Structure 1
Amino acid sequence: MKYSTLTDKMNELRKAGYTEDFNLQQNCLECRNGDFKLFCDEFKVDC
């Protein structure tokens, strides 16, 4: 399915159970609220 906006896709992902929101930092992904960071050896990207 194609989406006309990023918001549409983000809403679908939330409905599918992806509830955390991350920001890309120079050496990690950081949870938007700053509670934790994930480094490259700590996560896998779903395709």
Structure 2
Amino acid sequence: MQTYDTLVEALDDLNKKGYTHDFNLANDCLICHKPLLQLRPEQFHIVDVFRFEGMSNPDDNSILYAIESTDGQKGTLVSAYGVYADEVSNEMMAKLKIE
């Protein structure tokens, strides 16, 4: 399993590996604005997850998801640990749950 020291290092390496789409979390899907894509939970799987913890500020904590769609589109989703406080569907929450 690959490890990274920083979020920027991870994003740069994943981009080089083809994870070029920048996904954002919506209520019931992931959205990429360029190119315009919407992925519902059944249309993607999580390839890998990386956690980053701020050294001095807990607000700097984040999770990076490496995502691939069922049709081969690759991208990343960066989310704060508090993502589950946002309004997302139960299906999306279950998909992004980290054990």
Q: TM-score, normalised by structure 2?
A: 0.41
Q: Which position in structure 2 is the counterpart of 1:5?
A: 6
User: Structure 2: 5+ residue runs without aligned partners?
Assistant: 49-99
Identity score, percent: 36
Q: Which position in structure 2 is the counterpart of 1:16?
A: 17
Q: Which amino acid counterpart does residue 45 of structure 1 have in structure 2?
A: I
Q: Rg larger in 1 or in 2?
A: 2
User: Structure 1: 5+ residue runs without aligned partners?
Assistant: none
Q: Which moved more, 1:24-33 or 1:4-13?
A: 24-33
CA distance in 1, matches of 2:7, 2:14: 11
Would you identify which runs of 4 or more consecutive aligned residues in structure 1 move more than 6 Å? Answer: none
Q: TM-score, normalised by structure 1?
A: 0.77
Q: Which position in structure 1 is the counterpart of 2:37?
A: 36
Deviation at 1:26, TM superposition (A): 1.4
Count of matched residue pairs: 47
Deviation at 1:43, TM superposition (A): 1.1
Alignment RMSD, CA only? 1.8
Cα distance per residue 1:1-47 (max 9 Å; x no partner): 54232111000000111111101111110004371210011111113
